[in-house]
Amino acid sequence: MNKQDLIDFVANKTGVTKKDAHNAVDAVFDGIVSGLKADKEARFVGFGSTESAARKGRNPRTGEEITIAASKRPTFKAGKEFKASVS
């Protein structure tokens, strides 16, 4: 999903115009950047995820080799413009 997809989603979900949805999305992003510039933490529960493949591991108690199941982990990767705006 990119920014335009998010704007379209917000417009469709809320019934507002795309222009209003665009302004709302920009306001949210501006708020996040402003908070980070003020050395505040940005934490959004349930936001972002990536999948990790199944892998081999060891049981620390017994040393027995086990298979660790594939899973999803929450992640967020900041873009170039976002990184530049908070530094």
Q: What is the distance between the alpha carbons of residues 55 and 71, in angstroms, rounded to a whole number?
A: 10
Domains in the chain, start-ordered, CATH in brackets? 3-86 (4.10.520)
Cut 0.85: pTM above it: no
CB 69 within 8 A of CB 16: no
Q: Which among 4, 2, 1, 34 is positioned nearest to 19, based on CA atoms?
A: 4
Q: What is the DSSP letter of 20?
A: H
Residue 74's pLDDT is what?
65
Collapse the DSSP code of 87 into the 3-class scheme (helix H, G, I; strand E, B; otherwise coil) and give the result: coil
Chunked into runs of 10 residues, the chain (87 residues) has average pLDDT values of 93 97 94 83 65 89 93 74 76
Distance of CA 72 to the CA centre of its chain: 13
